[in-house]
Structure 1
Amino acid sequence: MYKSLVIVESPVKAKTINQYLGDKYIVKSSVGHVRDLLSNQSKKRKKKKNSFSEYYQKQFIVQKMGINPYKNWNVEYHILPGKEKIVNELKNIAKNVDRIYLATDLDREGEAIAWHLKEVIGGDSSKFIRVVFNEITQHSIEKAFKNVGQINMNRVYAQQARRFMDRIVGYMISPLLWEKICRGLSAGRVQSVAVRIVVEREEEIKNFIAKEHWKINISFLTSEKKNIVLELTHYKNKKITLNNEKKVNLIIEKIKHQSFYVTDRKDKILYQKPPAPFITSTLQQSSSLHLGFSVKKTMFLAQKLYEEGYITYMRTDSFFLSNHAIKKARNYIKNYYGNNFLPIKPNIYLNKKYSQEAHEAIRPTDVEVTTINQNRMSSDAIKLYKLIWNRFIACQMKSKKYKSIIIKVITDKFKLKTSVNIILFKGWTKIIQKSNIITCNFSEINVGDILFIEKILPTKIFTKPSPRFNEASLVRELEKKGIGRPSTYASIITKIKDKGYLKIENNKFYATKIGAILINQLKKCFTDLVDYDFTARMEKKLDQISDNKISWKNVLNIFFENFSKQFEQAKKPPEEGGMANNITILTNINCSICNKKMGIKTAITGVFLSCSGYNLKPKERCKNTINLISLNDANLINKDNMTIKKLKRKCEKCHIIMDEYLINDKLKIYICTNSPICTIFYIKKGKFESPIYLSKTLYCEKCKNNMLLKIGKFGKFFMCVNKMCKNTRKILSNGEIAQPKLEPIPFPDISCIKSDAWFVLREGISGIFFAAHTFPKSRETRSPLVEELAQFKHLLPKKLHYLADAPKTDKEGNKTIVCFDKLNKKQYIASKKEGKFTGWSAFFVKNKWLISNKS
């Protein structure tokens, strides 16, 4: 018993830490969680006959959840499927060591994993030691192993309280939603609040009415022919409001008869402080804005950078920086930028009031590492690292210094104003470029200067609704409202994207009809669940549990008592105040199969017409449906560079704008936004322009049968009518039908390196690639060489022949490979030497291969 066992969460993290610990330590990975709540998936239980008794319903719910809120929150955990081998290995090693260091992540989730590992491994509890570090460097690890501790059970209780509440909401409400609204729905304690934010913004945009207003700028010349443009701000000492062209023309006529001269000039020296170092939310927002990365991708790349030892822990809401890190940053600034960019004292950033942990902000572990070798990390990870590095160095630099000049012109009737900012010292913007400072000079314009009108420039403007959320702005809104925590933002965004309550177009969130119905019913029946303040207060209570200020079971008891009352009421029939049913609204359109009336139905796949014969007995049931093409998003048109709103039909009962759908090129239907609670609809006949994909008859390229338009959870697509075929074709955002997928092409003469398999050419979202034919047993993949495609050109379809005809080598004889341009969604070729890209590339333009100028 001469070695110690160190358990971390990630295999990559284990490999990195192993470099810094000596032979006396065995470093192993748990690969995340090893244990979770027992569920109906992990242990099947048979349903009893007395299923309608209240006692049985409670017991059945308890069995499904794995927790018992009726018996002091008794809990039943189980080893996660596939983790048995890992657990057994850890147990066997634990028997032969004198100490077990639990080195999982330093947030609540990491603390809970450490506790679960201790419980699973068992044995002498005195052998278990908790060790945490904010960065994977030798300095940090050595310091951490000198300052070890025990598992913080209060943080474990906070994690369990959150997990138990989430399990209760998900497992109890979901069956109710299936029964009352439609199959496939679910609710989440935090996810539903996030969906509500998007739904309410959607309603605001849909009912927004653009208002016209005007702005008048006047271009003046001084007697020295210097130009200055001022904006008209006041008329007769009142702020001017111009909402029609007639008023504008009257004002312009009066302006023409006025004399103007500069009456006031103010010059101020101002400073702009550098931005704070990154925390989780600001990293996600900045990564989205500057790099175009999703929240999920940002956190994935940040995790890799952390595990490889390049950055500090990436789940944090603290702006704190260690003295060691600040000293390193200041030395770097002094050596590379000079004392002129170094403030006298370090810049200190205060944490928010409810910052969860006393972690550090996200920063590079070593400021001397300005970039990363491409062999170790992907190009996207390198970009993210540079973003983090720039922000950290900038946060310790001097403020930006600039002069603000405000010039005013006042007559007896009018007031005009303009302002400009002149950079005097770049400061932190030396690293982070900002374009909001205009380098213009008003030095020769002074009080008393006479101004001569050169041009009057009226501009017509329409008010705009609040913008739709993207991932970054939604994270910012969640943070602003105190909903969620750094460790949960990515999972919240991922879950609401996958559920079908929202759709994404051009990186913007749009609420679906079923999402709106879900939120409206939850607001009615489960007021606390989707209440912003309640959710934020619950996050603060979880923080208080972590700090041992309140009892975790008391928090759960109060939550469950209130939730149960609302749940019991929601189960009742609608006429008794229960949750409303998602009814089918019958129309006067006849079914083309059985001649019964078609009805308006909303499901997770969207709004469609369903035959009323669907509710008959199975043998008599009619399953005919008609897809409705939503025209709701096309309510803004562009005319003369001005956005104006089309006149939309309003519901005669609710007096709100109705949703608009196309049935076919001769029928259009208007449905009240409040449906199915409101049953008002209108059908309009005429000749309507239909999307491109509706005007085409599509045949399956595999079996030559017809393909029918379908609407699924993730949008519209065509599916082959042959159930044995199951071939599909996507509909692109521009309305075009996607090209047929490339069928896997065997290349038995090209062998894998890591196994005895051979390669198959496949097509994915990032173009063509080679994959082992034994997938998933062997997951080996790589990009094909151009010479390989040329050798087996006879196996390729015609659409890929251009790749086989590409240059096989660059000018220096290095072999070329097929790559994919994510921005333009096109294949191109590049060359590699000793596993590294050479910088040479070529693109297929107008049926020719052109070598890039950058090569």
Structure 2
Amino acid sequence: MQKSLVIVESPAKAKTINQYLGCEYIVKSSIGHVRDLIKSKSQNKENKKCLKENFNLKTDEKTILIKKMGIDPYQNWKAEYHIVPGKEKIISELKMIANQVDHIYLATDLDREGEAIAWHLKEVIGGDASKFSRVIFNEITKHSIKQAFENPGHINMHRVHAQQARRFMDRIVGYMISPLLWKKISRGLSAGRVQSVAVRIIVDRENIIKNFIPEEYWKLNISLFSKDQKKINMDVTHYQNKIFRPINKTQMYFAIEKIKKSLFTVKNYEEKIFYKKASAPFITSTLQQSASLHLGFSVKKTMFLAQKLYEEGYITYMRTDSNYLSQHSIKKARIYIKSHYGSDYLPKEPNLYSNKKHSQEAHEAIRPSDIEIKRINSDHLSSSAKKLYQLIWNQFIASQMQSVKYKSITITVVADMFKLQKNERVVLFDGWTRVLIEEKNIISEFPILKIGSLLFIDEVIPSQKFTKPQPRFSEGSLVRELEKKSIGRPSTYSVITSKIQDRGYVKIKKNKFYAEKMGEILTVRLKKSFSNLIDYNFTAHMEKKLDKVAENKIEWKNLLNSFFKNFSKQLEKAKKSPEEGGMELNNIVPTSINCSVCGKKMGIKTAVTGVFLSCLGYNNTEIKNRCKQTINLISLNDFNKEEDNTRQISLKSINRCKKCNMSMDSYFINQKLKLHICINNPSCIGYTLEKGVFKNPVYLSEIIQCEKCHTKMIMKTGPFGKFFICINKKCKNTRKILPNGEISDPKLEPISFPQLRCKKSDAWFILREGIAGIFFAANTFPKSRETRSPFVEELARFQHLLPEKIHYLSSGPIIDDNGNKTIVCFNRNKKTHYITSKKKGKFTGWLAIFTNKKWCVIKK
């Protein structure tokens, strides 16, 4: 029997596809990319050897850089590809099987990245080109796979070139700007063609927020009732035909006294019927936004779970910006709606949704592969994946349901020179909201008022307000902004949001993005020296050009040549001194604070780890005599719980720089000294020292002793925030500083339980503590990754092994009311353990919490 080799990207996808293909097919996974441009780590030794033997750094700097990048922009973009480390065995196996089969099907993902992986596989395996075919499918179902293998095609090299062009541009920017940033600003920095634009979006919003001056205004709500005692709340909207907006308490109470003496007459009562269509089925960006809003998932987590759902065959491909739905899927949805919700909920014609102007590919929207699967019962997927599937299922079904029918009611009341208004919507038919509850402030009935009838005052409710700046971006709203500005593509949103955090240029706090000082400095420098690189329009325009490369409308190397020519000019200029128009340096800003070690002045310095004070003696030309004294600066925002409460902020309370009048960032030096630094630092050298007795975080006034070796612990700042570390180099114990300023409890030391054996291996369990509380993990981790929650009966049995910190957990109920064994779980929001139970792998809803030194049972 003739056999064929089918290569996919992931083992999970291979397993699912294998179910639908016959025994004449061998399905194997490449586990992602098999070949890539050379990595800097793998060629460090080679570079050093070249430097010693052949190259002069001054004359051959270009040659060394090309060798590092793996691409040569001066030689028609010649690329040096290497097998991804660790993939040698996989490649060897694929080659061996390829030599034994009659045909090879490349079934990698259907986006450009998948197309590029297919091409790399073909190049690595080699052999007769006619032996290879490309198959693509939007969903992993028997129907789609059968169609794909009945109509195989060839690798689309235009799409491969588009992926290569993006990859080459990103590498040029990263490898050629990074050395400049290390030299001019700080070690460890890097720039990205798209990531730097995303950082700019967050930094620009940060500057708006910091420089925003709240303005006071008042609103007036009046509760009225009619003769038949029907109540209605109305807002005062106009006075003397102008918008009613008192700016202080005096103006408000003058208006209240006047309006109390007036007669309230219904001037207008208007009803209108309108319909609201459901929003389109999910595309990548809207799925990420909705998962962030409704489930609290990060963009990275959403895409990870969506990938799992796709590979298991539950949803269609998850990287798409198309709202298109196949006729087959629409037909299935309409049958389901009619049978489960009735004919009233089924539109006469299918709901169709238009794509955005520059939709990249003619893929389908994200939808369930099988509409009959409303909820996933499989144990192979996590509860989070199941929740995401439910979100996708609901959105798809709602998108094909009848519109919601509303009655819009507008009431206008006059009182002397005042005008009051009330707008309400009454639901007449719930339509798609039967499945997708998104509407808020909707009422089911409303009092009917006659024009000319009188109303009477029940209550006057004034409220003081303050204008607020635009909100900070969440991950979901940042994706929406990137999509709005046509920056990035569905496949890149997750990478963008992750990288800018990993680099330390922004941080997430309370689900909102905050710009770090280094992110602000980097953005300012790139704006001046590489204006095109982080210009919104330029970046969006480049995305459209890459789309044209994929459509064979632009030659990819011509696009790269044009980009590189302009980029090189800006790079050469940026390398010059600031006086000659080059990139500005990240200079240290001297202060009046004396160094406690050498007596010289301390200066304000910004690095990847944050803002701190550094002794100016560090710049001593004699390395032996350098003073390395530093002082940590604690940002007020690191522990201020009311940082976003702008209502009490006034113009006087905002610290303004005396040199440039911009706002200032505030830091603690110690309990008696604050430092206010201009947000334009180091371009502006303005700063202010404030003396006094300040309310400070707990950790500033406590002396921390290491619980392991009893040595003193000192505070440090790292990529993930501030922490305490033991000064004993042999110990290196750490304690985190929590967002509220408190120091985290000591970590639980791993406890070995040789008596408790693992099910999947010969290992035994060790009790560990992580961000999700205590758990059992195999002692052979990472060889065996088996983990589970502890049973309460196990903790009770080995109570003598438990530290005092978790001793109380062993005294909890061993079984629930129905005789099910109980387990220990952790509430991440409240940071507390609780006890619950499971039956056949599912939570029963039975709960017990520890309060007032005893266990209290809660039944759901």
TM-score class, shorter? over 0.9
Q: Look up the match of 1:13.
A: 13
- The letter of the residue matching 2:591 is T
Q: Look up the match of 1:31.
A: 31
Shift in CA distance, 638/765, structure 1 to aligned 2, threshold 3 Å: closer
Select the residue among 124, 130, 145 that pairs with 2:128: 124
CA drift at 1:825: 2.7
What is the TM-score with the length of structure 2 in the denominator?
Answer: 0.96
Q: Is the 1:262–1:449 Cα contact (8 Å) retained in structure 2?
A: yes
CA distance in 2, matches of 1:633, 1:460: 29
CA drift at 1:596: 2.0
CA drift at 1:837: 4.2
Q: Look up the match of 2:625.
A: 620
| 1:486 is aligned to 2:490 | yes
Q: Secondary structure at the match of 1:830?
A: strand
Q: Secondary structure at the match of 2:649?
A: strand
CA drift at 1:228: 2.4
CA distance in 2, matches of 1:427, 1:556: 51
Q: Secondary structure at the match of 1:262?
A: strand
Q: Is the 1:375–1:836 Cα contact (8 Å) retained in structure 2?
A: no
CA drift at 1:414: 2.7
Q: Look up the match of 1:379.
A: 383
Structure 1 unpaired stretches of 5+? none
- The letter of the residue matching 2:709 is C
- The letter of the residue matching 2:137 is F
Q: Look up the match of 1:783.
A: 789
Q: Can you list the C-alpha shifts for 1:282-338, whole angstroms capped at 9, x where unaligned?
A: 111111111111111111111111111111111111100000000000000000000
| 1:283 is aligned to 2:306 | no
1:530-549 maps to which residues of 2 (within 5 A)? 530-549=534-553
Q: Secondary structure at the match of 1:242?
A: coil
- The letter of the residue matching 2:276 is Q
| 1:266 is aligned to 2:270 | yes
Larger mean Cα displacement after TM superposition, 266-275 or 772-781: 772-781
RMSD between aligned residues: 1.9
| 1:223 is aligned to 2:227 | yes
CA drift at 1:662: 1.1
Larger mean Cα displacement after TM superposition, 146-155 or 825-834: 825-834
1:488-527 maps to which residues of 2 (within 5 A)? 488-527=492-531
CA distance in 2, matches of 1:439, 1:836: 37
Q: Is the 1:423–1:437 Cα contact (8 Å) retained in structure 2?
A: no
Q: Look up the match of 2:573.
A: 569
Select the residue among 742, 759, 767 that pairs with 1:753: 759
CA drift at 1:597: 1.6
CA drift at 1:714: 1.2
Q: Secondary structure at the match of 2:724?
A: strand
Structure 2 unpaired stretches of 5+? none
CA drift at 1:638: 9.1
CA distance in 2, matches of 1:459, 1:842: 42
CA drift at 1:652: 1.6
Q: Secondary structure at the match of 1:656?
A: coil
CA drift at 1:692: 1.1
Q: Look up the match of 1:45.
A: 47
Q: Is the 1:261–1:449 Cα contact (8 Å) retained in structure 2?
A: yes
Shift in CA distance, 688/308, structure 1 to aligned 2, threshold 3 Å: same
| 1:631 is aligned to 2:636 | yes
| 1:149 is aligned to 2:172 | no
CA drift at 1:466: 0.6
CA distance in 1, matches of 2:327, 2:430: 26
What is the TM-score with the length of structure 1 in the denominator?
Answer: 0.97
Q: Can you list the C-alpha shifts for 1:746-773, whole angstroms capped at 9, x where unaligned?
A: 2223333333333222111111222222
Shift in CA distance, 797/321, structure 1 to aligned 2, threshold 3 Å: same
- The letter of the residue matching 1:555 is L
| 1:370 is aligned to 2:374 | yes
CA distance in 2, matches of 1:160, 1:420: 54
Q: Look up the match of 1:404.
A: 408
- The letter of the residue matching 2:494 is A
CA distance in 1, matches of 2:261, 2:760: 85
Shift in CA distance, 842/257, structure 1 to aligned 2, threshold 3 Å: closer
CA distance in 2, matches of 1:639, 1:306: 39
CA distance in 1, matches of 2:40, 2:466: 55
CA distance in 1, matches of 2:422, 2:400: 33
Q: Look up the match of 1:706.
A: 712
CA distance in 1, matches of 2:252, 2:640: 28
Q: Look up the match of 1:662.
A: 668
CA drift at 1:528: 0.9
Q: Can you list the C-alpha shifts for 1:498-528, whole angstroms capped at 9, x where unaligned?
A: 1111122111111111110000000010101
Q: Is the 1:637–1:644 Cα contact (8 Å) retained in structure 2?
A: no
Select the residue among 426, 430, 450 that pairs with 2:430: 426
1:61-80 maps to which residues of 2 (within 5 A)? 61-80=65-84
Q: Secondary structure at the match of 1:364?
A: coil
CA drift at 1:612: 1.6
Shift in CA distance, 411/743, structure 1 to aligned 2, threshold 3 Å: closer
- The letter of the residue matching 1:193 is V
Q: Can you list the C-alpha shifts for 1:679-707, whole angstroms capped at 9, x where unaligned?
A: 12121222112111111111000111111
CA distance in 2, matches of 1:374, 1:763: 28
Select the residue among 824, 846, 850 that pairs with 2:830: 824
Q: Secondary structure at the match of 1:623?
A: coil
Q: Secondary structure at the match of 1:114?
A: helix
CA distance in 2, matches of 1:590, 1:723: 29
Q: Is the 1:2–1:24 Cα contact (8 Å) retained in structure 2?
A: yes
CA drift at 1:800: 1.7
Q: Secondary structure at the match of 2:826?
A: strand
Q: Look up the match of 1:799.
A: 805
Q: Is the 1:109–1:159 Cα contact (8 Å) retained in structure 2?
A: yes
Select the residue among 810, 814, 817 that pairs with 1:808: 814
CA distance in 1, matches of 2:835, 2:295: 23
Q: Is the 2:285–2:490 Cα contact (8 Å) retained in structure 1?
A: yes
Q: Is the 1:818–1:829 Cα contact (8 Å) retained in structure 2?
A: yes
Q: Is the 2:639–2:740 Cα contact (8 Å) retained in structure 1?
A: no
CA drift at 1:815: 3.0
- The letter of the residue matching 1:76 is E
Q: Look up the match of 1:726.
A: 732
Q: Is the 2:4–2:26 Cα contact (8 Å) retained in structure 1?
A: yes
Shift in CA distance, 377/637, structure 1 to aligned 2, threshold 3 Å: closer
CA drift at 1:671: 1.2
1:174-189 maps to which residues of 2 (within 5 A)? 174-189=178-193
Shift in CA distance, 55/787, structure 1 to aligned 2, threshold 3 Å: same
Shift in CA distance, 806/412, structure 1 to aligned 2, threshold 3 Å: closer
| 1:309 is aligned to 2:313 | yes
Q: Secondary structure at the match of 2:490?
A: coil
Q: Is the 1:636–1:643 Cα contact (8 Å) retained in structure 2?
A: no
- The letter of the residue matching 1:629 is I
- The letter of the residue matching 2:201 is I
Larger mean Cα displacement after TM superposition, 280-289 or 760-769: 760-769
Q: Is the 1:636–1:644 Cα contact (8 Å) retained in structure 2?
A: no
Count of matched residue pairs: 854
CA drift at 1:643: 4.5
CA drift at 1:659: 1.4
| 1:690 is aligned to 2:696 | yes
CA distance in 1, matches of 2:42, 2:351: 52
Q: Secondary structure at the match of 1:670?
A: strand
Q: Secondary structure at the match of 1:276?
A: coil
Shift in CA distance, 642/578, structure 1 to aligned 2, threshold 3 Å: closer
CA distance in 1, matches of 2:636, 2:694: 11
Q: Look up the match of 2:96.
A: 92
| 1:239 is aligned to 2:243 | yes
Shift in CA distance, 51/602, structure 1 to aligned 2, threshold 3 Å: farther
- The letter of the residue matching 1:647 is S
1:127-138 maps to which residues of 2 (within 5 A)? 127-138=131-142
- The letter of the residue matching 2:730 is M
Larger mean Cα displacement after TM superposition, 210-219 or 356-365: 210-219
CA distance in 1, matches of 2:321, 2:596: 59
Q: Is the 1:195–1:515 Cα contact (8 Å) retained in structure 2?
A: yes
Q: Is the 1:220–1:454 Cα contact (8 Å) retained in structure 2?
A: yes
